[in-house]
Structures are given as C-alpha cells and as structure tokens.
Amino acid sequence: MQWRSIVVGLLVLRVLLNCAVWLVFGLGPSWGFDFPIKFTFNLHKIELLKDGDGATVKTNAWSQHMYDSRDPQAKTCSKISGNSPKKSYLSFFQEGRDEYDRKYSSFPDALKVKMRGMARDMFYFGYDNYMKFAFPEDELNPIACEGRGPDVLNPSNININDVLGNYSLTLIDVLDTLLVLGNVTEFHRAVKLVIDTVSFDKDSTVQVFEANIRCSNSL
C-alpha cells in the first residue's frame, strides 16, 4: 500500500505544478489573455442586505452599487479590441527589470560588432603569447610568462596533472577556434605543427573529461 500512496502523491503534485504553471505564465483569466473558458456570475441570484433596514434584494443592485463608486466608463464589460496588442507572457518577467538588466540584456548591432572585435583581440592576445613564450608546452603560465606542462616531480599536484599531459594542449585546443574566426592560414600552420611535433605516446595520467573536451573535440 505504501507504493500506491507514493504514486497518488506524485500525481497530485503533478496536477498542482500544472496549475501553478497555468497561472504563472498568464493563462488564467486575471492576466488579460484570451482564454476559451469564460467566467461569469449571475448577479440576479446574489442576495445582499441593504444597509439599515435588512431587506433582501434580488436584483442587480449590487453591481450597480459597485460600479457607482468607480469610473463611469467601467460600467460596461471591458473587452480587448481586435486592434489592441496582446501582451506576451514574457512581460511577466520584464516588469521587474532593473537598470542593469535593461542596459545589458540586449545587444544592438553596433555593440555586437564591438564585442566580436574585443573577443577576437582577447583570443589572439592569449594565442600569440602562448606561441611566443610557451609552445610546445601545454599552456602558458601568465605570471612567470613561460610554458608549463605536467608536474612530473609531484604526481599529487592534481591541479596541474589532471589537465596537462605534455602534448601541446593549448595548440590543439585552439584549432577549432581558428576556424571559427576564419583564420584559415594560421589554422593550416597550427595543424602542421600538431602533425610534426605532437605525440600522444606519453607516460601521463590525465583526466578523461578534460582530454576529451580539449583534445578530441578540437581534433
């Protein structure tokens, strides 16, 4: 019987989550969207007591009383005209945006060009300095400005030895980036360097995940 209770509980939770999503994303009638289900009240069946005499009213005086204190234009049912724009449910998340979100959440075309140029410059800054100061080591040590490979004297140095395997890791890692940037000439030169200088016949223990995402994917 315990497993049946668990199944029933999961089904109830699923229904509650569906209802929550239904309401949050603006599908309910209170959000102002067109919805096939119409919610109406029969005002003639609402019985209210008048103030003072306790008499029962079976008319629509309740609605009249409610609308008298509001804008006169609100006495008629408001309908969304065909020409009025429909709000997207995404506006639910956009109403609380701060100045930083409004400033940095979109990229105009001019800013896209500028950011692409900055990304290109950052890549070549790292790549050119690796080729100048670190190749054929695995990576560039930016502090000492020299190449760095696996720490063969300290096998327990996992921070280094988990990634570096003494096979020009950075050179292999940038092959696909050179193609993305459209630098075919440098790509051909880098591929030739990999063929001529890189060997995976090494006595190294490396992390499979790092070796796959940085070597296998680029190759």
Instruction: Give pLDDT tens digits along the chain (219 positions).
Output: 677 788 788 888 888 887 777 666 655 444 444 444 444 444 444 444 444 444 444 444 444 544 455 555 544 444 445 555 555 555 655 566 677 777 777 788 898 899 999 999 999 999 999 999 999 999 999 999 999 998 888 888 888 888 888 889 999 999 999 999 999 999 999 999 999 999 888 887 777 888 888 888 787
DSSP string, the chain: -HHHHHHHHHHHHHHHHHHHHHHHTT-SGGGT---SS-----GGG--EEPTTT--EE-STHHHHHHHHTS-GGGGSPP---TTSPPPPTTHHHHTT--HHHHHHS---HHHHHHHHHHHHHHHHHHHHHHHHHTTTSSEEETTTTEEE---TT-TT-HHHHTT--SS-HHHHHTHHHHHHTT-HHHHHHHHHHHHHH----------HHHHIIIIITT-
CA 47, CA 112: separation in Å to the nearest integer?
64
Closest by CA to 162, choosing from 199, 217, 210, is 210
pTM reported for the whole predicted model: 0.53
